[in-house]
Amino acid sequence: MCLSKHKRVEYPEHNVIHLIKTDDHRKPRTYIIGKAKNLKNRLSAYNKTYDHHVVQYSECKNEDDMNIVETMILRKLRDYREQANRDRFVLPENS
């Protein structure tokens, strides 16, 4: 699959927790949760296969806080994990 080049969005914040998804995952309510020191660079790694869109992101004060927040979120959502060892989650219709 070859993607057309598109302008990358600038995100000035650093040490962020992000919620992203692809067009293919819009209907089944599938989201990817992760962390990034630089969100623009992190998205360039994701966007090699599909276009990923940022749904939400939040800046943390420092890298340690970012790691802790991500761990807390992943533990809270572990029952909704799509596949083991992947940070992709399918949220139920009633949530």
Residue 6: inside a domain: no
Kind of pairing between the strands at 52-59 and 14-22: antiparallel
Residue 74: inside a domain: yes
Structure confidence by residue, pLDDT tens digits, 17-74 = 999 988 776 557 889 999 999 998 888 877 666 778 899 999 999 999 999 999 999 9
d(CA 24, CA 2): 16
Domains: count for the chain: 1
Residue 4: inside a domain: no
d(CA 41, CA 25): 22
Instruction: Decide: pTM greater than 0.85.
Output: no
Residue 67: CB partners within 8 Å, gap ≥ 6? Answer: 35
Quote the tokens at residue 1: 């699959």
| 32: containing domain | 14-90
